[in-house]
Amino acid sequence: MNAQGKVTWKSSNKSVAAVKNGKVTAKKKGTAKITATVRGKKLTCKVTVKAKTGKETGAKAKYSGSYLKVGTDIPAGTYVLMAKGKDLSTYTISKDADGQSTVSSGSFFGNMYMKLTKGQYLNMESCYTVPEKQAKPDTKKSGVFKVGKDVTAGTHKLVSTAVAGGEGRYHVYSSLNALMTDEVEIGDMKEIEGSMSVTLKKGQYLQTIDCRFE
């Protein structure tokens, strides 16, 4: 407002929208009436504050793309990579935007857990990622499963889903760090012909290929 004389500002609901020297600050979802008074005359306007959405509220966030900077493009934290199809997906976590200084990298079917630290860069191919709390990996398909979250601790039966002549495979990692840093090739994983029992402890991570929980 451009007027001569002192302007007095007032909000009808300061918990929704506050006003100072003509500047309105949103506080929370709701409506408020902002009133400006000058020389006995009043002008009012209605302000509607909408709820934050997407990444800002922790509502369902989804990230994809090349070399996302942690802390800028994606918050630091623990995430689950989700394959976009049945083909092999890959990821790389590096210290630089060129991907030359690799912290962790790998390929997977289904899904994969990872931890991101501020300043790192994440590159994804044929996959996207969501926060750990939001993810619900399918234990009927190949993937990586956190014991105590996706599956319970105890003894489970794994059944091979490989085509005739093939074998299902699995590997148990002691921790998330081991999952991200241990170089375990498919040939190093235990084979499953038919079915096999496996005992899991809380905090471990189980990776499966061509097998499922029964």
Residue 5: DSSP 8-state: S
> pLDDT at position 78, please?
97
> pLDDT at position 53, please?
37
How far apart are the two ends of the chain, measured CA to CA in Å?
A: 69
Contact yes or no for 99/123 (Cβ under 8 A): yes
Q: What is the mean pLDDT of residues 134-159?
A: 96
Task: Map residue 42 onto helix, strand or coil.
Answer: strand
Q: What is the mean pLDDT of residues 151-168?
A: 93
Mean pLDDT over each residue of the chain, to the nearest integer: 88
> pLDDT at position 1, please?
42
> pLDDT at position 55, please?
47
Q: What is the mean pLDDT of residues 147-164?
A: 95
pLDDT digits (tens, 9 = 90+) for 161-192: 998 878 999 999 999 999 999 888 877 899 99
Contact yes or no for 31/47 (Cβ under 8 A): yes
Q: What is the mean pLDDT of residues 59-73?
A: 89
> pLDDT at position 4, please?
56
205, pLDDT greater than 80: yes
202, pLDDT greater than 90: yes
Q: What is the mean pLDDT of residues 132-152?
A: 96
pLDDT digits (tens, 9 = 90+) for 4-57: 567 888 889 887 788 888 778 776 667 888 887 877 778 788 888 764 433 444
Residue 149 backbone dihedrals phi, psi, to 5 degrees: -120, -60
> pLDDT at position 3, please?
47
> pLDDT at position 43, please?
79
